[in-house]
Amino acid sequence: MNQASPQKRDLAMLVDQRQTSFFKHRPSILVLIISIVVTCVTFIKMQELEKARLQNEFEHLSNNIVVTLKDSLENNLQVLNELSSFYAASDQVERSEFKQFAKNIFKRRPDIYMLGWSPRASQNQLLELSQSAATEGITEYKLKQYDHRGLMVPVQSREEYFPVFFVEPLERNRDILGLDQNSYPITQIAMKKALETGLPAATMIMNLPQFENEPAASRNGFQVFSPVYKKDAVLNSFEDRKENIAGYLIASFHIRKMLESALKNFKTSELELRIYAQGIRDKNKLIYTYNPQTYDKTKRPWTVQSEIKVAGHYWTVISSSTSVFKKNHYRWEAPAVFVIGILLGFLLAVYVFSFERTRIRQIMVALSLTDELTQLYNRRGLWLLADEQIRLSLRHKRGFWLFVMDMDELKKINDTMGHLEGDRAIKRMAQMLQSTFRKSDIISRIGGDEFAVIALEASHASLSALLDHLQNQLKKNNALRDYSYKLQISLGAAFFDPSNPCSIEELIARADKELYAQKTIHRSQKATNL
């Protein structure tokens, strides 16, 4: 039994309907998997880059806000330097002058809540201050201080006092007129620090007395004390500055109002801002929150922490991103690449699937037209090509020869040497025919030991030359010592004449008739020899 080649069996298995879906479509599935993996890796890397870009952008936004806060606070504190210069240039500042100067400042810096002047006064000078205030129309001027409960009570006797003598705007700060700033530990610390450094010094975050009737969260504020010294005084040391202190200029800031003014140009919901400072009881007191958020514990926001120095104290500013920031600034390149990549992957997989189906179909067509053992055309292939050649012959008026051949001794070879040797004999016959005829000619194996050849564009008179050439090639092949047997063939020929056309069946029938006649002759000769 003549066996098919392993390569042909593999090709047949490729399209076997009994194969699983995966193995039938593995090239397209592999392409799809690779495209999905590449797309996912690209998407992840782009997401990481986008996250880094968003973080940088958020840090930039946060830093801009911190710089704005810092500039606003520094500009506010600069007011005290202006007041100090004003006092240094005047021999004695009158209440009306202070009021006018403060009014000009408030026009430029409306976020300053209070400006005041607390002169240094001994016990004997307190009465003079009260009389001077009354002369200027401040009849309710009374000296007072804080007690241990934080309440205002009449001033007690001590060495020196720093009562508030000027205050603007007077209408909203009238209650602190005459309040001794040296009676409260928080203000004492700031006043002492200002003397030690020679620079303005701020209190810790405190409840401003002007807001004692408001909710606790709205009372937060701080005061800044700027020392004013006697003219031409020596100020080389702390003792010099303490001895020559003339009083303190005071600026009072309400945290919420000041920060709202500083952030008025940042109308954004893209971040939450929390500001912490040192309070009386808390080392890290939350003093202000902008755009408070409730965060999902599973989604941690980006945070940027910065510090601002405010007259000797450090404030911690923590900026946290909100979902609005990501929504407004997120670029959709990564999702777009992901979607496009997946779509292209599917399209490529479909293309590969279609290509594979086409290739397999071509293989199957080739298999259906090709003899597996010799790789020559089979009977079906011969029939298809013969029909086509008949049409071409009729169109171009050119005839061709059809040869039908049988291997006479194949059964004997199979019986005596085995079917493997019979297969080799068939292949030998096929190779001999391929070396005999042109590449353009159609050579086929149409049965077990039957071969057919269509010699194209041949004339009726060329038969003798074709047969001589075939006979010579057969002799050369049989002269080889590689085989223990000789190839013997019986042959029938039929010419297709375009002027007298016939069907391929009729043409083969004519060739077969000659073939059978020749086989009969060969049998007779063999019987005679026996």
Each residue's pLDDT tens digit, 321-333: 888 888 888 888 8
Q: Which of 102-106, 128-132, 223-227, 277-281 has the lowest mean pLDDT?
A: 277-281
Buried b (16+ CB within 10 A) or exposed e, 330-361: eeeebeebbeebbeebeeebeebbeebeeeee
Confidence of residue 225 (pLDDT cuts 50, 70, 90): very high
The mean per-residue pLDDT over the stretch 58-80 comes to 86
Q: Which of 125-139, 174-188, 289-303, 361-375 has the lowest mean pLDDT?
A: 289-303
Tokens, residue 44: 């992840």
pLDDT of residue 23: 47
What does the domain layout of the chain look like in residue ranges? 54-321, 369-529
Q: What percent of the chain has pLDDT over 70?
A: 90
Q: Which of 100-109, 187-196, 279-288, 454-463 has the lowest mean pLDDT?
A: 279-288
Element (H, E) at 410: helix 410-417
Q: In this predicted model, what pLDDT tens digit does every residue of 487-526 receive, in sequence order? A: 889 999 999 999 999 999 999 999 999 999 888 887 776 6
Q: In this predicted model, what pLDDT tens digit does every residue of 258-272 receive, in sequence order? A: 888 878 777 778 888
Q: What is the CA radius of gyration of the chain?
A: 55
Q: For 54-321, CATH number?
A: 3.30.450.350
pLDDT of residue 528: 52
- DSSP 8-class letter at 216: G
pLDDT of residue 221: 85
**pLDDT value at 481 more than 80:** no
Q: How far apart are CA 50 and CA 55, in angstroms?
A: 8
Q: In this predicted model, what pLDDT tens digit does every residue of 4-20 receive, in sequence order? A: 444 344 334 444 443 44
Q: How far apart are CA 243 and CA 254, in angstroms?
A: 32
At residue 215, what is the residue type?
Answer: P
- DSSP 8-class letter at 459: -
Q: Annotate 111-153 with DSSP letters as a single string.
A: T--EEEEEE-EETTTHHHHHHHHHHTT-TT---EEE-TTS-EE
**pLDDT value at 83 more than 50:** yes
Averaged pLDDT score across all residues of the chain:
84
Tell the burial category of 377 from Cβ atoms under 10 Å away from its Cβ (0-12, 13-18, 19+).
buried
pLDDT of residue 453: 96
**pLDDT value at 362 more than 80:** no
Q: What percent of the chain has pLDDT over 90?
A: 30
pLDDT of residue 216: 65
Cα end-to-end span (Å), the chain: 29
* Number of Cβ within a 10 Å radius of residue 213: 7
Residue 19 CB contacts under 8 Å (≥ 6 apart), including other chains: 13
Q: What 3-state class would DSSP assign to 12?
A: helix
Confidence of residue 148 (pLDDT cuts 50, 70, 90): confident
The mean per-residue pLDDT over the stretch 236-260 comes to 89
Right CATH for 369-529 from 3.20.20.70, 1.10.240.10, 3.30.70.270, 3.40.1190.20: 3.30.70.270
The mean per-residue pLDDT over the stretch 124-149 comes to 86
